[in-house]
Structure formats: C-alpha cells, structure tokens
Amino acid sequence: MSHINKFGLLGGNFKKPPQRKTRLNRSYEELTPISWSEYFEYKRFVDIDGNRFATYSLGNVESVLIVLLHGGGFNALTWSLFAKYLVKQCECQVLAIDLRGHGNSFTTDDNDLSMTTFTNDIISLLRKSYPDKMPSIVLMGHSLGGAIAVNIASTEESDLPIIGLVVIDVVEGSAMESLASMQSFLRSRPKSFKSLTDAISWGMGNGHIKNEESARVSIPGQIKNIATGKLGTDEFEEPPIDTPVLTEAISEPQYSIDSIKEDEEFGASSISSKKPLGNYTWRIDLCKTEKHWPGWFQGLSKKFLSIHAQKLLLLANIDRMDRDLTVGQMQGKFEMQVLPRVGHAVQEDDPEKVASILSNFLVRNKFANPTGDFVRILPGC
C-alpha cells in the first residue's frame, strides 16, 4: 500500500490534490491575506556570514524560549495562530524562524539544504541572537523542522541549553517509505497562481491547510511574485506594484478561482498549451531538493530516543509510528499525543489544541508557569 496518503513529508498532506472543479464556498474578501503583525510582536532579520534569516517573536523575554522550526515548503508563519494561543496559556517566549531557502530568509546558497547546513544555521542564529545569556530552550519542529530539531538536540557541539524537544508529525519509517512517491506528489501541485487569494483558495480546497485563518496568514509566505521575486507576505504590507502578466507556452496548470468557475460553466478545462503564466509561484522548488531527502530522515528515530531532554511527539495518525518509536513509547521514553481530524499541518489545523498540549507539557515539567488562561489536561498515553 502506498504511504502517500499516510504521511506528509516536505510540507503538505500527501494526498493527491482534488480535481480542479473542487471550489471553496468563499468570496475573495473572505480569503484575503492576513499580516504577520496580527500574531507576532517583532519581525527581525539576523545576518550571519552573508546570509540573512527572518525571525518572528512574541512573549515574555525573561521566560523559556520556544524555538519553532517549520516543515519543508512552509515558512515561520505556519506557527502564527499557535504562538498567539500559547503565550496566553503560559509564561514563555517564542521565536519562529524562516529556514534557509524558505520565506524571507536568503543565503549565499539557498540550494544547500543538507541537514548539517540546516543544523549549523539554527545554532549560529541562536548564538548570535542571544550573545550574553541564552534562555533555556525547548525546540519544536514540524515535519522537516522536527528532524532538524532532533539533529540539533543530538549534536553535542551545539552547547545550547535545550531542556525540551517537541516533534510534530514526522516519523523515520513512514518518511523513508514515502520518498518514492514524493516527486509524483510535488508535480501534481499547481505550478503557479493568478493571485495570493487563489493560492489560499487552493491550499484550503486541497486540504494542504484546513484552518482558514491560518491559511490566510501562512500561505502567502510560501509563494513569491514571478516578476519581482518578492514574497507574497511582503506584497500586501507595502504599496502594490503593477506587475506584467507573463505569457509563455507551458504544459503545467495554473490555479485560479475564476478558471474553476469557467470549467463549471462551460464543462471544459481552461488549461491550454499556451496561456498566461500565473503571477505567483512557489517560494522554493522542492522537486530540486531530492538529493537531500534521505539525509533529512535517516536515523531520526534512534536520535530522537537517545536525547535526554524531555520529549513530546505529536501525530496526526497513530499509523505513522515505526517500530523503534513504538518500543520507545511503551518504555516511557517520551510523551505522545495523537490529534484527531487534522492533516499533516497539525499546528495550523488545530493551533489551539496544540498550544494547550504544549502549555501543559511546559507546566508539567516546570519549564513555564501557567497563566490565568491555562487549562490543565491529562497527558497522552
């Protein structure tokens, strides 16, 4: 049986997108982008050896630091709603980072996406951001970000004060098995979008992200303007710039709400061999990262189990557990929670629940103090 429906590896729910006639019952106004400033207090850039990394932060700077690492193809804004809920429930600070080649982070070599490079990037960024006294750290990562968090925590040379590790929906066994289907999934996605709203509509209709508010803030950070190279999140925060419609012969589809309406009205596909290329495309071409995929996940389970910090694993489906993790969980080596009715983007689909689980993890381990909004829940099995 193919594992493509059971595990989302690089940044999405790995089920084949629905037919293009699937359309959300939403207006353009309801799917307009939302600014990062609704959720975070600060957006800062950290310069390291000619590389520039974008970070978003929120919370009490005198408290434990939750370092948030997103999945492949996502960006730091995937944590927006979660972060806002979390700081209301316990005393902590969050730092969400755009990984190399993603979001608003730009480096001298955005194609160098090896696990070693990702790990060194985050360690260097944290050292530069906290040169005097680094707070205690809980690393939290989704998918690829979870694998990076595990690698950082297992790297003795990092000397970071890591007291906790939280991994969301990434398991070595199912990840490695799904690699053969990866390119097929990535090629099935639209190559371009007519507008930011069309991209949000596709993400919602495809099941990429099930939470409408979260999709409106995070998806613009996953795409860029083809003509200007500017990230989608930057465009609606600055005066709009007219960009030309690029026309070229293409065989890949573009996605727009209008084209779906035309299909429904006329009963024929609006995709032709020559038509305007959409104004937006993906910020990162994940198809070109294939050589790095095995290195992201090989040895992940054993590394995770070997880490001495308190550990929490959040999954969208219990079937994603591999043998090493199943045995480790039975031995009580980590806490685990399975969230129902969510896709691969667990922290986006149910951000309030994930925030509640993490706040309880932090309070139970005495990493953070509860606030008035804290609600105690029983730990998972």
198 is catalytic: no
Catalytic-labelled residue, pool 98, 121, 169, 349: 169
Give me the long-range contacts of 292-295 (CB less than 8 A, separation at least 24).
292/113, 292/114, 292/115, 293/9, 293/10, 293/179, 293/182, 294/176, 294/179, 295/114, 295/115
89 vs 86, 93, 373, 377, CA distance in Å?
5, 12, 5, 12
Half-sphere exposure of residue 330, counting CA atoms within 13 Å on the CB side? 7
Catalytic-labelled residue, pool 201, 344, 349, 359: 344
- Give the span between the Cα atoms of 108 and 93, in whole angstroms: 30
Q: Directed axis angle between helix 115-129 and helix 144-153, to 10°? A: 70
352 vs 250, 275, 330, CA distance in Å?
42, 42, 27
- Give the span between the Cα atoms of 20 and 13, in whole angstroms: 17
DSSP 182: H
112 is catalytic: no
Question: Is residue 63 within 8 Å of residue 135, measured between CB atoms?
Answer: yes
Catalytic-labelled residue, pool 143, 195, 201, 256: 143
Catalytic positions are: 143, 169, 344
